[in-house]
Every structure is written in C-alpha cells, then in structure tokens.
Amino acid sequence: MIRVAALLVCLATVVVSQRPEPCDTPLAWEARASAYDHGAGQNNRFRISYDAVNKRRRILEEIDAFTPGREFYEYLELGNEHKIYIINQATRHCEVREDPYFRMYEIPKNATFEGAHTIGFGLDESFEVHEWSDRIAAGRLTWIGGFTARSCVPVSEVIFKTNITNSVTNHFYDITGGISDPNIFIVPTACSQL
C-alpha cells in the first residue's frame, strides 16, 4: 500500500511538472490580423507593428473596397506617453487621446493554462498552440489567448468586455520578427501640432 501511494505521488509530480509555464512572447514583431467584434457583427482587417520594449503599437486598418463610404484609420499607441494618435488615412486629420493603459501582447505570469491543440495538417505542416487565460479559480474570465508552444508567438485572443456578445476576437497571421521600419512610430506632423 505504501508503494502504491508513493507511486501515485511520483506520477502526480511528473504530471504537474509537465504543465506548461507562461512563456515570453517576442519583444518586436509585425503581422496582419483580423478583429471580429461580436456585438457589432463586424470583422476588420489590419496590419500591426508591436514593440514591447518601448510600449509602442501601430495599427493600420486595411482599406476594403467592399465598404464604400467607410473611413479607415491608423492608430499609433505610445504607452510610455499614455497617448493614442488616431489618424484618418484619407484626410490625415489627427485626434489625440489620453490612454493610461497599454495592453501588452503577452501571457500574464499568473495565467491559467487552459489546454493545448495542434493547428495545421500533417506532421510537417502543423504547430502546437497553448491556450492561456486570466481565469483565477471560478472567477470572471476577461481574456483568453493562444500562443505557439515553440516560439510563444500570439495566434489568437478573445477579450471579453462583459460577456461573449460584448467581446472581440483577434487572429494574428503572417507574423514576422522585428520592426521593418522604426519610423512608423514617429508621431505624424498633423498630430504633433495639436
């Protein structure tokens, strides 16, 4: 009986030690992405450049010819300045807002591991994704994100504002490491005159 109990303790230790720990996401990357607003039933596509070290993010909405009359924007978030610059792509009109919270694309250190799954087809065309959440015990869930197991690159995330109908799902693809043009983080002249 003692041997069985000791074996169970050893097995439990091995299983717990195999649970993934939150990984460190890349510090600078660029990607294309889509954001689905569940409440509005609207899907937007954009290009994103992200610099975690300097807390900078640029989001450029992709112009869609199938939505005539819609205005498209560029968003320049400068977390260290607590500001977001919103620039109309057609008119270059700029609006500046205070933004005290810069959301990092990372897995919180106290995140809950939700599970793993494989995306792709076949052994040479697939990768493992780990899902993490900010769920604490039976508490309210406000974020769940999927990151590649090997490189810790974001794949998707759902941000719950109040419930599933008031949430946004983001998918990231065509991800490349680094920032191709650091000048994209320079505040445009139209904004610096405000």
- pLDDT 10s digits, 112-162: 999 999 988 776 788 899 999 988 755 677 899 999 999 999 999 999 877
Q: Tokens 């939700």, residue?
A: 114
Q: What is the pLDDT of residue 66?
A: 66
For 100-123, how does the pLDDT look when each residue is reduced to its tens digit (9 = 90+)?
889 999 999 899 999 999 988 776
- Is the pTM higher than 0.85? no
Band of pLDDT at residue 16, cut at 50, 70 and 90: very low
Average pLDDT, the chain: 87
Beta bridge partners of 170: 35, 157
Amino acid making up residue 41: G
CATH for the 28-192 domain, from 3.30.360.10, 1.10.10.10, 3.30.460.80, 2.50.20.30: 2.50.20.30
Cα separation, 5 vs 120, whole angstroms: 41
Cα separation, 56 vs 71, whole angstroms: 23
Between 43 and 4, where is the model more confident? Answer: 43
Q: Tokens 């989001």, residue?
A: 59
